Amino acid sequence: DSNGTGGLWSAASAPTSELRYLRRGGAYDKVEILPLDLGGGVRTFAPARPEAFLEEQPFVECNATRARAFHDQHGRDESPEAELFRLKVHGLLAKVQRLLDHLGVPFWISSGTCLGFYRQCDVIPYTTDVDIGIFIRDYKPDMVSLFSTHDLPLTHLFGKVEDSYELSFRDRDVKLDVFFFYEEDAYVWNGGTQARTGKKFKYVFPKFQLCWTEFLDLKLRVPCETERYIEANYGASWFTPLKKWDWKASPPNVEENGAWPVEEWPQVIQLFPLPDS
C-alpha cells in the first residue's frame, strides 16, 4: 500500500514463511508491480525487482498515543513562526535526503530532531537546527561540494575524518548539524569540539540498527532502538521539554575527551563565513 511518502509499506504477517519481510512491518521505495501467472489458473502480483523485498527493511512508526499525551500535557505550538519552521525543516530534510541518496550515503535523524520525532511526532519548534547522523564509514568527501552547489554552504568543520568529525551547513536561517558516528566493539560514539578552547567531547551510545520511519511526510531512517538512543542522549526525563541545554554538560552520555593540539586548530576548527556576509 502507498504510505504517502512516495514509497510503499507492508504490514507484518503471520510468520508462516521463511521470508523475512513477512515477519514485520517494512518500508520500500516504490516499485513496479507486475502480474504473475503461477499456473493452474492462479494469478498474483509481484514486484518487477523482487530482490528489493528479500532484504529486510524494518519500519518503526511514530507513537501517536505518546504524541497526544505530550501535546495534552505541554501543548502544541501552532503559531505562524512554528508552522513556518516545520515547513523549513521538511524542505531541508527533503533536500538532504535527495543529495545523500545521490551519493549513496545513508543517514538518520539524530539528537533534537530524533527526540521531536519520538516524543511528539513533530519538530521541536523552539529549536533552530536539524540534526542528522552518519556512520563515518559511509562518509564521502563529495558531500561538502554537493551540498554547497545546492545552496547548503558549509559553516563549521570540526575534527577530522578519523576522529570527532562534525560538519554544519546553513539553509538560510536553519542550521544543519551532521554528526559522524564511530563504531567500537561495544558502543558507538560521536564527537564534539569547543571552538574557543579546542576541548574535545565524546557522546557514547549503545549500538543500534537503522529502521525506516515516516516523519513530516518523508521516509527517513531512525535508530530502531529509538528510546534507548534518546535516553542515552537526554536521560530518563526525555519526555519533559527543556529549553536550556548545554551541549558540553547536559547530555548524560557526554565525556571529556582531551583537547586538540594548538598546532592542529587550523585544520580541526574551521569556521566559514556565509557567502552573503
Question: What domain count does the chain have?
Answer: 2
Q: For cell 516523519, what's the residue? A: 215
Strand partners for 10: 26
Q: Quick one: 103 and 196 in the same domain?
A: yes
pTM, 2 dp:
0.83
The verdict on 43 and 128 lying in the same domain is no
- CB-based contact 241:137 (threshold 8 Å): no
Do 32 and 138 sit in the same domain of this protein? no
Q: How far apart are CA 270 and CA 257, in angstroms?
A: 19
Q: Are 49 and 31 in contact (CB under 8 A)?
A: yes
**Which CB contacts under 8 angstroms, 24+ apart, belong to 46-54?**
52/28, 53/19, 53/21, 53/28, 54/19, 54/20, 54/21
Please check whether residues 142 and 24 belong to one and the same domain: no
Residues 104, 12 within the same domain: no
Residue 160, in any domain of the structure: yes
Helix (H, G, I), strand (E, B) or coil at 6: coil
- 1 located within any domain: no
- Give the residue numbers spanning the domain of 47: 7-54
Same domain, 221 and 242: yes
Q: Which pLDDT score, from 0 to 100, does residue 35 have?
A: 76
Tell me if 34 is assigned to some domain.
yes
Shared-domain flag, residues 42 and 106: no
- Full pLDDT tens readout for the chain, 277 residues: 555 666 665 555 555 444 444 445 555 555 567 676 676 777 776 665 665 555 556 999 999 999 999 999 999 999 999 999 999 999 999 999 999 999 999 999 999 999 999 999 999 999 989 999 999 999 999 999 999 999 999 999 999 999 999 999 999 999 999 999 999 999 999 999 999 999 999 999 999 999 999 999 999 999 999 999 999 999 999 999 998 999 999 999 999 999 999 999 999 999 999 876 5
- How crowded is residue 265: how many other Cβ atoms within 10 Å of its Cβ? 14
In a domain, 277, yes or no: no
Q: Are 11 and 102 in a shared domain? A: no
